[in-house]
Structure 1
């Protein structure tokens, strides 16, 4: 700008400075100051934060049911601090359903209904970054998942990376994700399609340890599944212990307090320590069964990794036994898939044998 009078030039400069300051103030006013419960995490990249995950998050019921992995529903899981939700999705007549191995045995309802609960919770908790990991058991096409996300209105808050693969160090900060409103991160273990970039391929971005272990001594930090460079990928530890029922691995709630503990042989904390030694860094995702067993110990482990204090404002949920009642139990559902289909104890062995036969014939994969 060419000014003929110093006075007017000065006014122009002052006005320009004021506009600049106003713009900066506006930007600052929208920045998240607390991210996933801690101010310290706002400047940390997604790939450098550790998150507790619920294995088979949808498979909810009393621990006496061998086909459940959690005993509180997704809303309670999120309330208590779970930030990764792992799902096994089956295609039943064109409908995407959440089933544990076989829908005829353990059907937890439509994926869309589950996602709607996630959306409701995220709307009420705008400073939280959440992840969903989908096991696409029937190799359903990515557009079918896109339809379910759109029906639940989750596509609009889903993060889409600029490239299909990001190293752990290349992810945005939690604060920037929250500020942008793109704070749901979703992975598909297979079937990802670049035309739907917010459904991210898991194994080019994440590697996993072994799963379905029945011996706690075998919890290690060896790469089990990947399609990428493990030295730069995020990684997930499958830290849930199983027991054998009719020769098949089934969740083991009897030892969950020990498995989920922060210290001790076979504990989550010990597993993380092994990873620090073997990989030189902690895992990004800690996938567990019956997350509340241990009284919050799984969240303590994650907090220790992240260098923050675990201090919940309200106590987390208590374990649900066969004689307990809970809003997440199958009997209290509305028929829309609130929990895993209830099964009498007398039928469990027969059902397990049926599943074993199906696995033997290659009909189903048990995760």
Structure 2
């Protein structure tokens, strides 16, 4: 398995994350992985977590799906030594691994790979049995350019406009556009490309009330 732009194996990436977690014992981290090739959760993904040393840190809910209001606080996760939450898109629900959680049963998303800089919002990807209001939600704030607008087209991340896309005003505007679909709440997750460009952390701080 390779991560984007051939950054190495997932296992080696997880080992780097484990080192960061060891150096930052009061931080809680959430993974949201995609698995478009349908690689075995049990036979391939779980060993990568095991070999990296992250599995003992992974939170296992007492039952699932978990309602938005039922998640432990950051303090409770830190005190319990369970500082990693792992979500996967379709496939996790049949993986048979207790700490790998099916994303769309607990987190809804607005449209993925948007090409409209205004980021119009709607509930695009979700799954029962919980109501959407019982889900957390994620905004896909990763602007793309369609290089070949024929058929499904060829989408690539819009690096040239990343500073504007990742500005506080643009991120907050997107979040506000999705708020009516979440009873006025700010998003729980903001997906960005080129996270080292623009003001993503500052925007998220604003969304968190800081």
Partners of 2:175 and 2:186 within 8 A in 1: yes
Aligned to 1:253: 159
Instruction: Return the offset for 1:259.
Output: 0.8
Partners of 2:105 and 2:127 within 8 A in 1: yes
Aligned to 1:17: none
User: What is the SS of the residue equivalent to 1:203?
Assistant: helix
Aligned to 1:210: 111
Aligned to 2:50: 150
Summarize deviations over 1:331-352 as a string: whole Å, max 9, x none.
Answer: xxxxxxxxxxxxxxxxxxxxxx
Instruction: Return the offset for 1:305.
Output: 1.8
Instruction: Return the offset for 1:194.
Output: 6.8
Partners of 1:207 and 1:234 within 8 A in 2: yes
Relative contact order (alpha carbons < 8 A, sep ≥ 6): 1 or 2 greater?
1
Moved over 6 A (4+): none
Aligned to 1:301: 203
Instruction: Return the offset for 1:231.
Output: 1.1
Aligned to 2:142: 240
**Of residues 175, 188, 206 in structure 2, which corresponds to 1:284?**
188
Partners of 1:237 and 1:285 within 8 A in 2: yes
Aligned to 1:200: 101
Which protein is bigger by CA-based radius of gyration?
Answer: 1
Partners of 2:41 and 2:95 within 8 A in 1: no
Structure 1 unmatched ranges of 5 or more = 1-96, 101-105, 309-367
Partners of 2:40 and 2:95 within 8 A in 1: no
**Of residues 172, 182, 199 in structure 1, which corresponds to 2:82?**
182
What TM-score do the two structures reach when normalised by structure 2?
0.90
Instruction: Return the offset for 1:133.
Output: 1.0
User: What is the SS of the residue equivalent to 1:269?
Assistant: helix
Pair 1:166 & 2:66 matched: yes
Aligned to 1:270: 173
Could you tell me how far apart the structure 1 residues matched to 2:66 and 2:138 are?
15
Could you tell me how far apart the structure 2 residues matched to 1:128 and 1:175 are?
10
Instruction: Return the offset for 1:99.
Output: 4.2
Pair 1:221 & 2:125 matched: no
Partners of 2:3 and 2:10 within 8 A in 1: no
Instruction: Return the offset for 1:154.
Output: 0.6
Could you tell me how far apart the structure 2 residues matched to 1:158 and 1:224 are?
28
Could you tell me how far apart the structure 2 residues matched to 1:221 and 1:175 are?
32
Could you tell me how far apart the structure 1 residues matched to 2:6 and 2:177 are?
36
Could you tell me how far apart the structure 2 residues matched to 1:112 and 1:275 are?
34
User: Aligned Cα RMSD in Å?
Assistant: 1.5
What TM-score do the two structures reach when normalised by structure 1?
0.53
Aligned to 1:125: 24
Instruction: Return the offset for 1:290.
Output: 0.8
Aligned to 1:332: none
Structure 2 unmatched ranges of 5 or more = none
Could you tell me how far apart the structure 2 residues matched to 1:146 and 1:164 are?
19
User: What is the SS of the residue equivalent to 1:108?
Assistant: coil
Alpha-carbon distance change, 107 to 194 in structure 1, aligned in 2, over 3 angstroms = closer
